Amino acid sequence: MAQRKSGSTTLKQVAERAGVSMAAVSAVLNSKKSSIRISPATAELIQQAAKDLHYVPNGLARSLRTNRTNNIGLVFENFGGITEGQFYVELLDGVAQELFKNKYRLTILPEVDRVQPINSLGNGLLDGVIWCKLPQSPDVIDILQRCPIPFVALHARPTEAHEAAAYISADNYGGAKLAVQHLHELGHKRLLFILETAEVDVPDAQARLAGFLDACAELNIEVQDQDIRIWSHDLHETNTYFHSQPEHTAIITWNERTAGVLLEHAQSLNIQVPRDLSVISFDSTSFSEKTSPRLTCIYQPIREMATAAVRTLLAQINGETITQDFEYPTRLDLRDSTTEPPKNRDWSSILNAEKSS
Instruction: Decide: helix, strand or coil at residue 280.
Output: strand
> Taking CB under 8 A as the rule, does residue 198 contact a second copy?
no
# binding residues, DNA (CB under 7 A): 32
Contact 203, 156 (CB under 8 A): yes
Residues 53-92 interacting with DNA (rule: CB under 7 A): 55, 57-58, 61-62, 64-66
Residue 149 interacts with DNA (CB under 7 A): yes or no: no
8-state DSSP, 228? E
Q: How far from chain centre, in Å, is Cα 250? A: 27
For a second copy (CB under 8 A), the number of binding residues is 63
Residue 75: strand, helix, or coil: strand
- Spell out the SS3 assignment of 324-353: CCEEECCEEECCCCCCCCCCCCCHHHHHHH
Which residues between 56 and 75 bind a second copy (CB under 8 A)? Answer: 56-61, 63-64, 67, 69, 71
Amino acid found at 96: A
Q: Does 326 bind a second copy (CB under 8 A)?
A: no
State the nearest-atom distance from the C-beta of 253 to a second copy, in Å: 14
Contact between 316 and a second copy (CB under 8 A)?
yes
Could you say which of 34, 119, 244, 272 contacts a second copy (CB under 8 A)?
A: 119
Site for DNA in 309-348 (CB under 7 A): none
CB–CB of 18/46 below 8 Å? yes
Of residues 158-197, those binding a second copy (CB under 8 A):
none
**Shortest approach of DNA to residue 24 CB, angstroms?**
4
329 touches which of DNA, a second copy, none (CB within 5 to 8 A by kind)? none
Handedness of CA 340, 191, 285, 81 (dihedral sign): negative
42 contact, one of DNA, a second copy, none, CB 5-8 Å limit per kind: DNA
Answer whether 191's CB lies under 8 Å from 183's CB.
Answer: yes
Site for DNA in 3-22 (CB under 7 A): 6, 8, 10-12, 19-22
Within the chain, strands assigned E span 71-76, 105-109, 128-132, 151-154, 166-170, 191-196, 228-231, 250-252, 278-283, 296-299, 326-328, 331-333
Pick one of 11, 27, 38, 92: the residue that binds a second copy (CB under 8 A).
Answer: 92
Taking alpha carbons only, the member of 155, 162, 247 closest to residue 202 is 155
Q: Which does 10 bind (CB under 5 to 8 A by kind): DNA, a second copy, none?
A: DNA
Query: Do residues 142 and 110 lie in contact, with contact meaning Cβ atoms separated by under 8 Å?
Result: no
Q: Which of a second copy, DNA, none lies near 23, with the C-beta cut-off 5 to 8 A by kind? A: DNA
Q: Pick from 47, 97, 136, 197 the residue near a second copy by CB under 8 A.
A: 97
Q: How far apart are CA 152 and CA 172, in angstroms?
A: 18
The answer to whether 121 contacts DNA (rule: CB under 7 A) is no
| Region near a second copy per CB under 8 A, out of 129-137, 143-151, 226-234, 345-353 | 143-151
Q: How many residues does the chain have?
A: 357
Q: Is position 236 an interface residue for a second copy (rule: CB under 8 A)?
A: no
Q: What are all long-range contacts of 28-34, with beta carbons under 8 Å and residues at least 24 apart?
A: 29/57
Distance CA 305, CA 309 (A): 6
- Output the smallest distance, CB 157 to a second copy, in A: 24
Report what 351 binds from a second copy, DNA, none; CB cut-off 5-8 Å by kind: none
In whole angstroms, give the CA distance from residue 69 to residue 73. Answer: 11
- Give the interface with DNA as residue ranges (CB under 7 A): 6, 8, 10-12, 19-24, 26-27, 29-30, 32, 34-39, 42, 55, 57-58, 61-62, 64-66, 124
- Where do contacts with a second copy occur on this chain (CB under 8 A)? 1-8, 54, 56-61, 63-64, 67, 69, 71, 79-80, 83-86, 88-89, 92-93, 96-97, 100, 105-110, 116, 118-119, 122-125, 146, 148-150, 260, 264, 267, 286, 289-292, 316-319, 321
